[in-house]
């Protein structure tokens, strides 16, 4: 699955960058996020419950950040295992740019799924991924506007 998009966030780029790196903001913004813990500057562990069509599962995974270029962006790589439901793995390139409205966040995702998830069909997986991304960015935009960097 490949997906890309961009969102306008009405706050300065430095604030968006700080919010993207704040696990409490991420916990609140990621749909179905049960737990999230920062293990190091570049590693985050999370558990997320997701429903894709008839398959609902709790995925436990590790995310690694690379190509760190504060406050311009980074690359995210991760893999989550959901037991009999299967697995998801992939990455995303996230870029931030100043715009008159605040900050433009753009992303390009490349991911694969296996197990029962792979049997559901690409269209359903793609539409669910797009819906979850829209939910994440709607919530994240609100939280970023309220974010007070530590």
Report the CATH number at residue 70: 3.30.530.20
Instruction: Report the pLDDT value the prediction gives residue 143, as an integer from 0 to 100.
Output: 95
| CB contact at 8 A, 24 and 38 | no
The pLDDT of residue 83 = 86
Range of the domain at 10: 2-146
Q: CA 75 to CA 130: how far, in whole Å?
A: 19
**Total structural domains within the chain:** 1
Show the tokens assigned to 7.
Answer: 């969102």
For residue 128, the surrounding DSSP H or E stretch is helix 122-146
Orientation angle between helical segments 122-146 and 13-20, nearest 10 degrees: 120
Q: Give the tokens for residue 48.
A: 């997320």
Angle at 128 between CA 37 and CA 30, to 5 degrees: 20
3-state DSSP assignment of residue 15: helix
Alpha-carbon distance of 44 to 134, in angstroms, equals 22
Provide φ and ψ at 72, rounded to 5°.
Answer: -95, -25
At residue 149, the pLDDT reads 63
Tens of each residue's pLDDT in the chain, 150 residues: 899 999 999 999 999 999 999 999 999 999 999 999 999 999 999 999 988 888 888 999 999 999 999 999 999 999 999 888 889 899 999 999 999 999 999 999 998 988 888 888 788 888 888 899 999 999 999 999 898 765
């Amino acid at each position: 699955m490949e997906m890309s998009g961009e969102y306008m966030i009405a706050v300065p780029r430095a604030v968006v960058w700080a919010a993207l790196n704040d696990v409490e903001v991420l916990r609140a913004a990621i749909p179905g996020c049960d737990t999230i813990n920062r293990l190091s500057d570049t590693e985050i562990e999370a558990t997320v419950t997701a429903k894709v069509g008839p398959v609902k599962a709790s995925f436990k995974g590790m995310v690694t950040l690379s190509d760190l270029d504060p406050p311009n962006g980074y690359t995210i790589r991760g893999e989550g295992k959901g037991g009999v439901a299967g697995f998801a793995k992939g990455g995303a390139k996230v870029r931030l740019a100043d715009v008159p409205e605040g900050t433009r966040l753009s992303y390009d995702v490349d991911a694969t799924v296996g197990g029962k998830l792979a049997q559901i069909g690409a269209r359903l997986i793609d539409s669910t991924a797009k819906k979850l991304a829209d939910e994440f960015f709607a919530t994240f935009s609100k939280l970023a506007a309220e974010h007070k960097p530590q």
